[in-house]
Amino acid sequence: MKSAKSWMIVLISGVLLTGAALADSFGMKGFDGWSAEEMTLLSSMRLSELAPAPVDPSNGYESSPAAVDLGQRIFFDRRFSGNGTVSCASCHQPDRQFQDGRPLGLGMGTGTRRTMPVVGAGYSPFLFWDGRKDSLWSQALGPLEDPAEHGGNRLAYAHVLKAYYRADYEAVFGPLPDLALLPKEASPLGTPEQRTAWRTMSEDARREVSRVFANMGKALAAYQKTLQFRESKMDRYVDAVIRRDERASRLLGPSEKNGLRIFIGKGQCITCHSGPLLTDQHFHNTGIAPYAAGRPDPGRRAAFAMVMNDEFNCLGGFSSARPEQCEELRFLASDDRAMEAAFKTPSLRNVALRAPYMHAGQMPSLDAVVRHYAKAPEAAAGHSELNPFVLSELDVRDLVAFLGTLTGDVEPSRR
C-alpha cells in the first residue's frame, strides 16, 4: 500500500504533468524563436494539413480512373482546337507549373489575362481570376470555345471524339450520339456560320452535343484534380518546428526565417494567403493597375451574372448535382461592390518559378510584388484592401527569399 505522502507526490506530479500537457496543447510554449501563437499559424500553412480536395457533386465522373486517363489525353491533344495547333498544355505547360510564363495567355489569339497554374484548382469553389465558373469541368469548356484560345466549337469536338476516342469515351460516359447527319461545326457561341448551323439543329441534337461537350469537361476536370503540390522547404521546416526537432533551425536560413516572420506578421500576407495552399480562395482588390490603362477589368464584380447564366453551372441540365448540393452558387451574393476589380487570391506554392505575376502579368518579379504590398497604392477602380507597412531593403530581400522556400515538385507532372 502507498503512503499518504507518496499519493500526494503522485497527485502533485499528475497536476504538474497535466498542466504542462495543457500548456503544450494550448501551444503556450514556443520553439526556434516562434511564440505559441505564431506556431499555430505556421502549422496551418503546411502541406500535411491539406485535406483531400472536396468532392464536386456536379461531376459524377471525377473519381473514375478511366475519366482521368481520357481527360489527360484530351488535355494534351491539339486536335481539339480550331486550327489543330492548340491544346490545354500549350498554355498549361507541365514543365512550367502548368502555366506559360507570359503576361497574357496566347492561343489562337492573345487573351486579356494571365494563364493560371491549374495545380490545386480542385480546391477552388470558383474558377478563373474572376471566378466566373463554379466547377473545374465547366471551366474547361470556356477555353475550348474561346476564339483567342482553342478557337473550336462543340460539334467539331464531338466529331473528333467520335473519330479518335470513341471506345474510351463510351466506356466512361455511354454511347456517343449519332453525328452522321449533323454539320461539321456548330455552337451557340461560335462564328455567325456556326451559330446558324446550331440553330438549324433539333433541340434534342443540340442537347446531346452539349452533353458530349460537358462530358469532355468532366474528363478534363478528373485529370486536373490528380495534379498535386509536393512538399517544399517551408513544409519541412514547419513540420520540424511543430515536432520541436532541434534540426529545424538548420532547415531555413536567417533571411528566409525573417521573411516568414514578415509573412505571418506585419506583412499580413497570411490573412489572404492562408491554409496549406496559401490562398483563402476568395476575391480581393489589391490595387493592381489594369494591364492597359484604357482597359479596366471589373474582375469579380462582373462574374456573378456570368456564372448564374451559365448553362454548364451546378444548377444546369448537364450537372450531376441535386439543386441542394449547389450551395456555393445558391448563396452567392449578387451585387457586392467590394468585388469591383477584385481577383482570386492565387496559391503561393511554387510561386518563385512562375513570373510574371498578377492577373495580367503586371509585375515582372517577386521583388516588385513585395514592394507593391508595402506601398499599398490606391486602386484605379474600386478600393484596395491593403494597408501600407514599413519594409526595409533587407526585409524586401528576406520576404522574397521566404517566397522561394515554397517551391516543391508537382505530381504527376506528365503522362
Q: Which residues bind ligand HEC (CB under 6 A)?
A: 86, 88, 90-92, 105-107, 111, 113-116, 118, 121, 124, 127-130, 136, 139-140, 143-144, 149-150, 220, 224, 267-269, 271-273, 284, 286, 288, 343, 345-346, 348, 351, 357-359, 366, 369-370, 373, 385, 399, 403
372 neighbors 240 (Cβ within 8 angstroms): no
State the minimum distance, in angstroms, from the CB of residue 49 to ligand HEC: 20
Q: Whose CA is closest to 356, among 296, 291, 293, 303?
A: 291
State the minimum distance, in angstroms, from the CB of residue 199 to ligand HEC: 25
- Indicate the residue among 88 and 156 with the shorter CB distance to ligand HEC: 88
State the minimum distance, in angstroms, from the CB of residue 181 to ligand HEC: 27
Place of cell 467539331: 156
State the minimum distance, in angstroms, from the CB of residue 146 to ligand HEC: 8
- Indicate the residue among 86 and 197 with the shorter CB distance to ligand HEC: 86
76 neighbors 187 (Cβ within 8 angstroms): no
345 neighbors 385 (Cβ within 8 angstroms): no
- Indicate the residue among 31 and 345 with the shorter CB distance to ligand HEC: 345
The alpha carbon of residue 361 and the mean position of all alpha carbons in its chain are separated, in whole angstroms, by 16
Residue 162 CB neighbours (<10 A): 17
State the minimum distance, in angstroms, from the CB of residue 202 to ligand HEC: 27
Q: Which residues, 6+ apart, have CB-to-CB distance to 222 below 8 Å?
A: 59, 61, 62, 63, 64, 67, 68, 70, 71
- Indicate the residue among 318 and 343 with the shorter CB distance to ligand HEC: 343
- Indicate the residue among 143 and 316 with the shorter CB distance to ligand HEC: 143
- Indicate the residue among 111 and 253 with the shorter CB distance to ligand HEC: 111
Give the largest Cα separation in the chain, rounded.
98
Q: Which three cell numbers stand for residue 274?
A: 492562408
State the minimum distance, in angstroms, from the CB of residue 74 to ligand HEC: 7
